[in-house]
Chain A
Amino acid sequence: MKRFLIPLILFVVLLGFLARGLMLDPHEVPSPLINKPAPAFELSELAKPDLKFSPAEMRGRVWLLNVWASWCVSCREEHPVLLALAKTGAVPIYGLNYKDQRTDGLRWLTQFGNPYTLNAFDGDGRVGIDYGVYGVPETYVIDKAGIIRYKQIGPVTQEALDKKILPLLKELEKS
C-alpha cells in the first residue's frame, strides 16, 4: 500500500495544477499598471473637440475609466451595466473612445444611451497603448491619488461589479 501512496499524492498535486490551469482565462493578462499612477494624457473630448480632458483633473476623486469603441461588440454587452451604475451615482464613469470615428462614437451613444460624464477621444489608439489596452472593453478603477487600483479586462459584469468593483470603490472612497 505504502508504495502507491507517494505516486498518488503526486498525481493529486498534478491534477490540482492542471485543474487550476484549465480554469484560468489566458486572455486575462495581469496588468503591470496595477498600483501604478495612471498614465498621463491630454485628449480632446468626443463631443466637444475643442475641449481637452486630462486625468490630472480627476485628482481627489475616485473614478472609472472605461475603454470602449462603437465597433466593439462586447461593449454593447456591458453597456446596460454601466448605464445602471451611472444612474446610482456611485462613481463617475469617464470613457475613452478607442480607435473610433467621432461620428460613429457619438451615434453609438445616442443609440444605446450615455453613462459617461465625459468621453476622451483616442482616435489613433496611442493612449490605449499607454494604458496597455489589448482588447476592448477594459475598465480601470483609479483612486484619489491617480493610482490605478483595478483593471477589468472584458465587459464589466454585474458579478464583477458586486464582488470586486463596488467594494473596492467603497474602500477607496474612505481613504
Chain B
Amino acid sequence: MSKGNSRGLKHIMFALLLALTTSLAVAREAMPLAADEAVEKRMVAISDEMRCLVCQNESLSGSHAELAQDLRQEIRAMIKAGKSDQQIKAFMVDRYGDFVLYRPPVKTTTYLLWFGPFLLLAIAILTLINYLRRRGARLDQGEASEPELSAEERQRADVLLKQIETKR
C-alpha cells in the first residue's frame, strides 16, 4: 500500500517538474522573436516576394529548405545592418537572377512576358471586330440582293402552300 502511494507521489512530482520545465522552455524560446518583431516582419515581407530556388513552388518565407533558412538569416542580418529593401533585393538578384523575384522587373528581356498577354488580347479583339464587320457586310449584302420571285415561281409556291393547307 505505502509503496504504491510513494510511487504515485513520485509520478506527481515528476509530472509537476515536467510541467515547470516546459513552461520555462516556452518562455525562453518566445523571447528573441518578440525582441526582433520589426526585423522579422520586414524579413517576412521581403522573402514573401521571393521564390525559394530549392522548392520552386514555395516562397522564400514559407520554405523549409536549408538554403531558404540560410537566406532568411542573411536577410535578417542585412535588415539589422540597415540595408534598404531595394539593396536586399539587389543582393538576391545578383546571386540568383530575376528568377527569385515573383514580380520580374520590366526590361527588354521581359517585355514579352509583361506585354505578351495584352498583345494576344489586342489580336483577339481585332480579329473579332474584323469578323463581325465582315459578317455584317455579308448580311447587309444578302438582304439587299435577295432574289425576287418571278411570277411563275410565285404561282408554284402558292400551289405548294395550298396543297399543304388542304392536306391538313
Residues of A within 8 A of B (CB): 26-27, 29-33, 99, 124-125, 129-132, 134-135
**Given A99-B66, A129-B71, A135 contacting B94 (CB threshold 8 A):** no
**Given A29-B53, A99-B66, A135-B54, A129 contacting B99 (CB threshold 8 A):** no
Listed A/B pairs (23) with beta-carbon separation below 8 Å = A26-B56, A27-B56, A29-B97, A30-B97, A30-B99, A32-B93, A32-B94, A32-B95, A32-B96, A32-B98, A33-B95, A99-B66, A125-B67, A129-B70, A129-B71, A129-B95, A130-B95, A131-B95, A132-B95, A132-B97, A134-B53, A134-B54, A134-B96
Least CB distance from A4 to B in Å reads 15
Residues of B in contact (CB 8 Å), total 15
Complex: A141 Cα to B29 Cα, angstroms: 45
Contact A32 B66 (CB under 8 A): no
Cross-interface CB contact of A129 among B54, B74, B97, cutoff 8 Å: B74
Q: Which residues from chain A contact B97 at a C-beta distance below 8 Å?
A: 29-32, 132
Cross-interface CB contact of B96 among A26, A27, A29, cutoff 8 Å: A29
Cross-interface CB contact of A29 among B66, B71, B74, B99, cutoff 8 Å: B99
46-67 of chain B: CB within 8 A of chain A: 53-54, 56, 66-67
Complex: A130 Cα to B92 Cα, angstroms: 9
Beyond A32-B96, A135-B53, 4 extra complex contacts between A and B, CB < 8 Å = A26-B56, A129-B70, A134-B67, A135-B54
Contact B70 A125 (CB under 8 A): yes
Q: Which residues from chain B contact A135 at a C-beta distance below 8 Å?
A: 53-54
